[in-house]
Every structure is written in C-alpha cells, then in structure tokens.
Amino acid sequence: MMKTILPGQTIGIIGGGQLGRMMGLAAKEAGFKIAVLDPVMDSPCGQIADIRIVAPYNDAAALEELGEVSDVITYEFENIDYEGLKHLTEIAHVPQGAELVRITQNRINEKAEITAAGAPVAKYITAQTYEELKEKIADVGFPCIVKTAFGGYDGKGQVKIDSIEEIHTAESLFEHSACIAEAFVPFEKEVSVIIQRNAAGESYCLPVAENIHKDHILHESIVPARVHASVLAQAEEAAMKIADHLQLVGTLAVEMFVLEDDKIVINELAPRPHNSGHYTIEACNISQFHQHIRAVCGWPLRKPRLWAPSIMVNVLGEHVAPLKKIVTNYPDWSIHLYGKAEAKIKRKMGHVTIMTDDIEKVLVEIESTGIWSEEY
C-alpha cells in the first residue's frame, strides 16, 4: 500500500543545491517542512529549509539524523553515497529506494538496464582495463566515445576517439574506473523526457524538451521540441518503458539523441528533477518539482499541460552581472537565481524562462542581448 505524507510533515532532502531548493520551495507551498543534509550551511536548499544538517553525504550519523527528523526522504542528485542511502532505506521511508542510484551511478549498469527495458542505445562495449579496451574497441568502430563508468558530468570523464592511433588518449580514464566505449552517434538534435511516477504505478511524461548545449553544459531548452510527432511518441514510449522496468518512484530524466531518420537513441538517465525541466515552473500546470513531491509523498499525480511554448536559458556565473543590468527591460522573462554565494565561471547560478508564441523570435532576442555570447 502506498504511504501518504501530508502537509505539516517533514520531507528530508539529501543534497542542498538548486534542485533541492526548488523541490523544497514546491513542498513548502503545500505546507510541508523541509530538512536538508548538505556539507554547506548556507546551501541553496539550506537557505529555505526548516532543519539543516551540515555534514558530508556519506556521514552515517548525519544520515540517521535525517531519517529521525523526516517523514519521507528524497534526494536532489545521484552522486550521493549508495551504501549510506541503502542503509537509510532500512530505517526510514525512502520511496525511491537506493537501487536507482546504484544503477545510474554506473554507466555500465545504466546501459544494461536501458537495454533490458527494451529502449534503444548506441552500440557499446565495456572494458575493465585499458588493455581490454584495445582488444574490444574494433567492435564499436570509430569514431567512438570512451567514458568512465563512474563519475563525469557536463562532458567530463570522457574522450572522443577518431582512430586507433588516438586510443592512448583514453588510457588515463581507467585511473578512475572501468569504462564503456560507445559508437559515436551522428545526431540531429538532443531531447529529454522527464517522466514521473508514484508507487501505485501512475506515471506522466512532461512535454519533450529540445536541448542545446555549449561546452557540454546545457544552454537552452526549447519546448515543445522542434521534432516530428513520431519522435515525440518514440521518446515518451522509451521513457515509459524504462520507468516501468525500473519500478520508478519519483522523477527520471531520460536524455536522448534524435537521428537523421527520426529514430531515437537513449544517451543517459538522471534519477531526479532535471535542468531541462525548469521551464515547467511557469509553463505547465504542474512543475517537475511539485509533481516530484506528489510522487514521493504518495499523492495522485496531475496530468501535465503546457500553457505556451517556452525557452529556458541557463544562467552561469559569467552571465549573472550582465543579466542584472538588463533584467528590467524584459517583462516576459521569469528570472530564477539560486542563492549561490559565488558566481564562478561555468557554474550554474540560475535560469531564465520565457513563454512565447514565437520561439524563433525569442531565440533571436536572447542572442541579441549579448549576455550568452562568447565575447561578452
């Protein structure tokens, strides 16, 4: 039976970043209390929390304290301590469980589970050592991408190899973990589907986002994605298959490549609210954060509806100052800044969402501000 958590009770969040902050704000709107575990006292989520536990994510005593003060526990990112989370599931209510974190922390496990769910992935091989990579790399051919099984994000922990002569550039990756090598996919677009599911198996996909990256960091999400209807259908079907296979509770972001023939290939998973879903705060009848809270608290989910086409633009450290100079010139822009103390270059500091009936016009408007240009 699905356990129901009600307003007035406490939701514990492992991780104090912007995703935790936006989760917490959504929960507080409904009257929940928030407890957060994070190594930093003044974390973005800590700033809005009722209870702050300042400790490393793998601190056993701190995790137990979080379990004691919380009626339900969730997490805002996947790079937390799996063993600690597994122990927490034995002493506290963690409806998402720990297995999804174990799977998505390791690209080898992740690829195997996506395949088992019946969703398409690029051809790949696994290698425990550099010698094994050299023996097996011909099976995927060139070009290919070698990635560490553990860690790595925003383009880190991976190397593109165009020929056998370049294979030595991947050797250092094995200092960190085993690796996978994926055949390079000549994709037309990148899209993501965020699917949310409660313990009763009720699930909904948010509108599919088209994602544009700069330097391996998400720059813009455009919704609805500018792809054919058949691509949208494939994307949602794949997300549903994966969520059902994993018995998802909570949120899963499924990142995909769209190929020239309009087929899709799954790239990776994130078991939490996702940067490409931030547009839902303004642009949908239910944000990814409100729906996540409903899912982990055992509430029925709401069928998502997009109010208007939208663009979400990430605000990195170098964009904060120029954005503040012009923010009052754009009444249609919804500004979100996350409360991070230091605006470091390439660090995600916030985002802007713009609802519009003319996506192409707004894309030009964003570019014309100069804020996101390389020369600013």
Helix (H) or strand (E) holding 312: strand 310-316
Task: Flag whether pLDDT at 5 surpasses 80.
Answer: yes
For the chain, state the CA radius of gyration.
21
Q: Sign (positive/negative) of CA torsion 61, 65, 68, 74? A: negative
Token pair for 41: 């006292």
Banded pLDDT at 374 (limits 50, 70, 90): low
Residues 113-152: tens digit of each pLDDT? 999 999 999 999 999 999 999 999 999 999 999 999 987 6
User: pLDDT value at position 2?
Assistant: 84
In-domain check, residue 240 = yes
Is residue 306 domain-shared with residue 335, that is, in the same domain? yes
In-domain check, residue 116 = no
Is residue 168 domain-shared with residue 296, that is, in the same domain? no
In-domain check, residue 109 = no
Is residue 175 domain-shared with residue 238, that is, in the same domain? no
In-domain check, residue 161 = yes
Q: DSSP letter at 169?
A: G
Nearest alpha-carbon partner for 242 in 221, 217, 267, 218: 267
Residues 85-107: tens digit of each pLDDT? 999 999 999 999 999 999 999 99
In-domain check, residue 114 = no
Residue 320, CB half-sphere, CA atoms under 13 Å: how many?
Answer: 17
User: pLDDT value at position 194?
Assistant: 98
Phi-psi region of 122 (alpha: psi -120 to 50; beta: other; left: phi over 0): beta
CA angle 190, 192, 193 (to 5 degrees): 155
Q: How far is CA 39 from the centre of its chain?
A: 21
Is residue 179 domain-shared with residue 191, that is, in the same domain? no
Average pLDDT over residues 196-214: 97
| Structural domain that includes position 140 | 123-183
Q: Where is the domain boundary, 144, 163, 183?
A: 183
Rounded to 10 deg, the angle between the 82-91 and 60-69 helix axes is 40
Q: How far is CA 246 from CA 42, 46, 142, 345, 375, in A?
A: 34, 31, 32, 36, 44
Is residue 163 domain-shared with residue 206, that is, in the same domain? no
Q: How far apart are CA 43 and CA 37, in angstroms?
A: 10
Is residue 243 domain-shared with residue 348, that is, in the same domain? yes
In-domain check, residue 112 = no
| Strand 310-316 relative to strand 124-127, pairing | unpaired
CATH number, position 130: 3.30.1490.20
In-domain check, residue 374 = no
CATH number, position 192: 3.30.470.20
Q: How far apart are CA 108 and CA 114, in angstroms?
A: 10
Residues in the chain: 376
CATH number, position 26: 3.40.50.20
Q: Where is the domain boundary, 150, 183, 216?
A: 183
Our count of domains for the chain comes to: 3
Residues 285-326: tens digit of each pLDDT? 999 999 999 999 999 999 999 999 999 999 999 999 999 999
pTM (2 d.p.): 0.95
Q: How far apart are CA 352 and CA 279, in angstroms?
A: 8
Is residue 131 domain-shared with residue 273, that is, in the same domain? no
Is residue 265 domain-shared with residue 328, that is, in the same domain? yes
Question: Starting from the edge strand earliest in sequence, which strands make up the sheet with 158-161, in order?
Answer: 124-127, 179-183, 144-148, 158-161
Residues 209-261: tens digit of each pLDDT? 999 999 889 999 999 999 999 999 999 999 999 999 999 999 999 999 999 99
In-domain check, residue 117 = no
Is residue 199 domain-shared with residue 347, that is, in the same domain? yes
Q: DSSP letter at 12?
A: E
Is residue 155 domain-shared with residue 301, that is, in the same domain? no
Is residue 356 domain-shared with residue 328, that is, in the same domain? yes
Using an 8 Å Cβ cutoff, are 69 and 40 in contact? no
Nearest alpha-carbon partner for 297 in 30, 83, 65, 102: 30
Is residue 319 domain-shared with residue 247, that is, in the same domain? yes
Banded pLDDT at 376 (limits 50, 70, 90): very low
Task: Flag whether pLDDT at 153 surpasses 70.
Answer: no
Q: How far apart are CA 293 and CA 251, in angstroms?
A: 9
